[in-house]
């Protein structure tokens, strides 16, 4: 199961406990998923929990008995659940009860009316329903990304306003005729999961995130050490090349005993670092002192 599937499975087990939250959830699901065509209201979803919640809450809150049918989607790769409302009086009851009517005319209008998000608990319930119906979260092993998408502009605006009221700084984009609100900051994603009431999934998210960060830290350290090792080797090769050039020249005879000792030490141990060279030196010398002498030799070699 995908990481999104894991989160939605846990979220599906969290049912709204208050009547106000139940109505908010139902209004959100109808706003996101319903379409009115040929005097029939229909809702399509691939999530059986969403379909069950629509049917149960429609019966409990509005007294409606709805039909559901399972069919394949266009590509025949997944099953879709189709919930339909066909009676004219039932459609009217839905429109009025869930405020799915335009203010200007008595026509179907997808929106989440502000009356359903007055209470903070209802705002949480609305986001739970919205994520169940149109949410996605990446496995944090791959990338930090959480989103909710819909092709309905007004519903998108209603949801965005609710996230702002809850202090969530969602970014927005349009993609393939859909309006998308998303988060890419891992701390903000954790805050969002916490608002949804996800506990096990949040713990799993933290666990995977920490494992990823640890691996990244190890990789960065290894890359840093490899880079330093490459720099050390390059520096040693440059020194040896210059010292051999100096060794063959007449200037070698003009070198002080200290510089001659540094030259012989480096040529005798071409693979050692400066610290290691200082340690094996027969004459006590610090790393900085040895480095100073080698630089002096390099400068003399450049004049040849």
CATH number of the domain at 169, please.
3.10.28.10
Q: Within 10 Å of residue 237's Cβ, how many Cβ atoms?
A: 12
Looking at the fold, whether 245 and 174 belong to one and the same domain comes out as: no
CA 279 to CA 259: how far, in whole Å? Answer: 17
Compute the average pLDDT of residues 287-295.
87
Whether the Cβ atoms of residue 214 and residue 208 lie closer than 8 Å to each other: no
pLDDT in tens, 111-137: 999 999 999 999 999 999 999 999 999
241 belongs to a structural domain: yes
SS3 content of the chain, % helix, strand, coil (to 5): 60, 15, 25
Number of domains in the chain: 2
The two counts, helices (H) then strands (E), for the chain are 11, 8
| pLDDT category of residue 62 using cuts at 50, 70 and 90 | very high
Chain-centroid distance of CA 209 in Å reads: 10
128 belongs to a structural domain: yes
Q: Spell out where 164-291 has E strands.
A: 171-175, 178-183
| pLDDT category of residue 73 using cuts at 50, 70 and 90 | low
Q: Of 230 and 278, which is predicted with more confidence?
A: 278
Q: Within 10 Å of residue 223's Cβ, how many Cβ atoms?
A: 10
Whether the Cβ atoms of residue 280 and residue 263 lie closer than 8 Å to each other: no
Judged against a pLDDT cut of 80, whether residue 259 lies above it is answered with: yes
206 belongs to a structural domain: no
Residue among 152, 156, 31, 150 nearest 94 (CA): 31
Question: In terms of residue numbers, what domain contains 100?
Answer: 3-198
Residue among 272, 242, 275 nearest 259 (CA): 242
Q: Which residue has the tokens 């996230």?
A: 163
Looking at the fold, whether 161 and 268 belong to one and the same domain comes out as: no
- Please report the pLDDT score of residue 56 as a whole number: 93
Looking at the fold, whether 161 and 296 belong to one and the same domain comes out as: no
| pLDDT category of residue 184 using cuts at 50, 70 and 90 | very high
177 belongs to a structural domain: yes
Looking at the fold, whether 260 and 179 belong to one and the same domain comes out as: no
248 belongs to a structural domain: yes
DSSP state letter for 116 = G
Residue among 72, 81, 74, 19 nearest 50 (CA): 81
294 belongs to a structural domain: yes
Judged against a pLDDT cut of 80, whether residue 77 lies above it is answered with: no
Q: Quick check: helix, strand or coil at residue 147?
A: strand
CA 242 to CA 245: how far, in whole Å? Answer: 5
């Amino acid at each position: 199961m995908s990481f999104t599937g894991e989160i939605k499975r846990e979220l599906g087990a969290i049912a709204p406990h208050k009547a106000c939250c139940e109505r908010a959830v139902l209004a959100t699901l109808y706003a996101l998923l319903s379409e009115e065509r040929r005097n029939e209201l229909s809702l399509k979803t691939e999530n059986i929990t969403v379909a069950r919640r629509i049917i149960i809450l429609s019966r409990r809150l509005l007294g409606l008995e709805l039909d559901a049918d399972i069919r394949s989607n266009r590509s025949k790769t997944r099953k879709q659940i189709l919930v339909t409302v066909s009676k004219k009086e039932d459609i009217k009851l839905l429109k009025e009860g869930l405020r799915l009517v335009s203010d200007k005319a008595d026509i179907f209008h997808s929106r989440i009316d502000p009356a359903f998000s007055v209470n903070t608990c209802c705002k949480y319930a609305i986001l739970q329903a919205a994520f169940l119906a149109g949410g996605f979260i990446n496995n944090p092993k791959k990338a930090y990304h959480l989103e909710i998408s819909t092709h309905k502009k007004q519903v998108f605006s209603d949801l965005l306003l609710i996230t702002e009221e809850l202090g969530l700084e969602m970014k927005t984009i349009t993609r393939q005729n859909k309006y998308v609100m998303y988060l890419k900051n891992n701390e903000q994603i954790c805050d969002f999961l916490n608002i949804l009431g996800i506990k096990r999934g949040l713990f799993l998210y933290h666990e995977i995130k920490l494992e990823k960060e640890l691996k990244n830290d190890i990789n960065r350290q290894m890359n840093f050490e490899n880079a330093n090792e490459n720099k050390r080797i390059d520096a040693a090769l440059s020194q040896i090349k210059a010292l051999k050039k100096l060794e063959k020249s007449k200037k070698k005879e003009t070198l002080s005993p200290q510089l001659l000792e540094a030259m012989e030490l480096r040529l005798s141990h071409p693979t050692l670092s400066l610290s290691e060279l200082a340690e094996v030196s027969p004459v006590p010398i610090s790393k900085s002192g040895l480095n100073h002498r080698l630089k002096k030799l390099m400068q003399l070699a450049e004049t040849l």
